[in-house]
Amino acid sequence: MAVETSIPHVGGAPLSGIHPLDPLTGDEIEACAAIVAASEFTTDSLRFVMISLEEPPKPADLDFDLLPEPPRKAFAVAYDGGVKMIYEGIVNLAEGEIETWTPVPGRFPSYLAEHMETVEVVVREDPRWQAAMTKRGISDFDLAMIDPWPAGYYGAQDHYDNSPLICRPLTFMRTAPSEHGYARPVEGVIVTFDMDSMKVIDVEDHGVVPLPPTAGNYAPEFMFDENNRPAFSEFRSDLKALEITQPDGPSFTVDGWGVTWQKWALRVGFNPREGLVLHQLTYADRGRVRPIMYRASLSEMVVPYGDPSPTHWNKNVFDMGEVGMGLMANSLTLGCDCLGEIYYFDGIVNDSLGKAVVIPNAVCMHEEDYGISWKHTDFRTGEVEVRRSRRLVISTIATVGNYEYGFYWYLYTDGNIEYEVKLSGVLTTGAIAEGEKPTWGALVAPGIFGPNHQHFFNVRMDMAIDGTGNSVYEVDSVPEPDPALNPHHNAWITKETLVASEAEGARDWEYSTARYWKVVNPSVVNELGSPVGYKLMPRDVVPSMVQEGSYIYDRARFVQHNLWVTKFDSKEKYAAGNYPYQSKDAQGLPEFIADDAPLEDTDLVLWYTIGAHHVVRPEDWPVMPCAYVGFMLKPVGFFDGNPALDVAPSAACHASAAGSAHEHKDGESCH
């Protein structure tokens, strides 16, 4: 059924001149919703979960330039609470028609915008919740913060035929408006909430624990708490201004969502679930444009908690699959979130009625100096050559309840690619009686503790090292095994093991062999006759504390291995499956490898899991300084030598000693 739509322009670029991989504009999001609303599939209770680009098929040569322009299509996930059914629709925007409309039985959707806004209001009015608050001496219910935590899965009652879509809200109390509410967790009160009918199902009360005595504020207006304990005495006055200036402007150029910088080129993407996406990452090398990755994004994350007490044992949130990283993206601010010459991309998402919602400045792009790229001093002649390193930073930050997550892609002048997650925000807290110490966490302030927990992030990278015919090798460094060749007991070699099929595709890092993984193109060799490649370098690897037999074990199976390798399938995008909410079974990567597809010289995908192991400390309170986790992709035989040799010497340098500074004369360089 084709539908003509006339939608006022809302955000984004006009429909003409759009690249096939550009995110949907506001017009397109609302056109999609209008087409569905005018169709036979609509009902009064149908709501839109996410509307995003239905990406066109990957071209054989990874380039759309020589192909007919594909029609713009939207992928709509909708939920009908009246019949408890998810629907997936592919909507042809050019033709104004729904191509497919598919029910997805037995699954639950991620949060709708109206859930986030309404749960707190309804819970606050529930007499059972009010009775629990009164028992704790709380009379001003309007000061309660009620976070609608995803339900997860904790037994058969959470997932059966016709079961409701639920969440389990947790309560925190402010003592004044705008105060730091997470400083006063209400321990032991757990609400079960039906988001289909928007009603409280049950309120559990596991016993009164006194509210913590201190406020834990960090904002300037709360310089002192009610016990006259200073949050901080005054702002530091000895930090001088630090300004990032680029008088000639930035080195990158932007055309719509396309970016070029130095020898790099890529397309930026954004959608409600994944947030920031990179497409068609290439490097220009001696007149050749060489592909490296076709698509890269966060694929899933989970935060399992290690405290078995009633309030905390069921905290196992898939912040991306159960909420949506793009939906939670911040509007970034110059001078605060990013410094220098900044280019911003707006994020455009949808509300539950299909209206476009613009998140201004959702993605930030800028350049950073990164110290020395390379240097050598000839001590005989005194000649010095040194070059500065620089990186392009593409980032987004999402606030999911109490935590902030910053996601950063770095591209370097020497061909390196880095991914980093910065964790900040506020700990999930619990209250504990005076004089007691937590068994499964640590005190951060009087009466407040943070449970032991971990954060795992899985990054999906559709690799394309000089094309789609790639292979993966696991590389271990081991002592020379032949005693005759190792008489001095100092020799060691690297041992490469081909990851031949998906049955072998779940891999673990090994400290004792300095293990890394190498992606090569066996059909393209460098001047030394070796296949060109990139290697994945792990960083800060942590073991998973998720134990077999727990409810979260199967639901978050991706955390059980550091690396997974699969054959490319456009339908396989999320490490824990399309719909992890309230599910009990192993979705995603365990399913993807079940057919044991061959992986040698083929189109393949890397799924790398990053872990943050959080045993909390007082220094994490009341707001947590950034913790950093990530990995790096480094060229290994991809180039015939150092690709940063042609970086020009810096035009002007400053050397400071004993409070004085020397500036090189005009035209003089750092060498």
Q: Identify whether 403 is a catalytic site residue.
A: yes
Q: How far is CA 326 from the centre of its chain?
A: 9
Which two structure tokens, joined as six digits, stand for 245? 């200036």
Catalytic residue among 22, 319, 462, 620: 319
Calculate the CA dihedral of residues 313, 318, 319, 320 and round it to 10 degrees: 180
Q: What is the C-alpha separation between 273 and 77, in angstroms, rounded?
A: 11
Beta-bridge partners for 445: 448
Q: End-to-end CA distance of the chain, in Å?
A: 68
Residues 6+ apart with CB under 8 A from 545: 304, 306, 452, 454, 613
**How many whole angstroms separate alpha carbon 630 and alpha carbon 636?**
19
Look up residue 300 and give its amino acid.
Answer: E
Burial class from Cβ neighbours inside 10 Å (0-12, 13-18, 19+) for residue 322 reads: buried
Contact assessment for residue 80 and residue 87, using Cβ atoms and an 8 Å cutoff: yes
The one-letter amino acid at 134: T
**Residue 426 Cα to chain centre, angstroms:** 18
Burial class (CB in 10 A: 0-12, 13-18, 19+), 251: middle
Q: From residue 467, how far is each of 22, 137, 471, 602, 636 by CA, in Å? A: 22, 66, 11, 9, 16
Q: What is the DSSP string of 208-219?
A: --PPPS-----S
What residues form DSSP beta bridges with 392? 367, 411
Q: What is the rounded CA–CA span in Å between residue 263 and residue 453?
A: 41
AA identity, residue 423? L
Catalytic-role residue among 79, 283, 403, 574: 403
Query: How far is Cα 600 from Cα 186, in angstroms, rounded to an integer?
Result: 54
**Distance, C-alpha 571 to centroid of its chain:** 19
List strand residue ranges (DSSP E) for 499-589, in order: 506-507, 516-525, 531-537, 563-567
Chain CA centroid to CA 380, Å: 50
**Closest to 412 in 3D by CA, of 573, 635, 160, 614:** 635
Q: Give start and end residues of each alpha helix (H) in 41-88.
A: none
- Do 617 and 442 contact (CB within 8 A), yes or no? yes
Task: For residues 93 and 22, give the distance between their C-alpha atoms in angstroms, rounded to a whole number.
Answer: 14
Tokens of 276: 């920031």
CA–CA separation, 329 vs 362, rounded Å?
Answer: 6
Nearest CA among 219, 236, 320, 241 for reference residue 275: 320
Provide the 3-class DSSP secondary structure of residue 39: coil
Instruction: Choose among 576, 594, 559: nearest CA to 153.
Output: 576
Q: Which helix (H) or strand (E) holds 255?
A: strand 252-255
The Cα 353–Cα 355 span in angstroms is 6
| Residue numbers annotated as active site | 319, 403
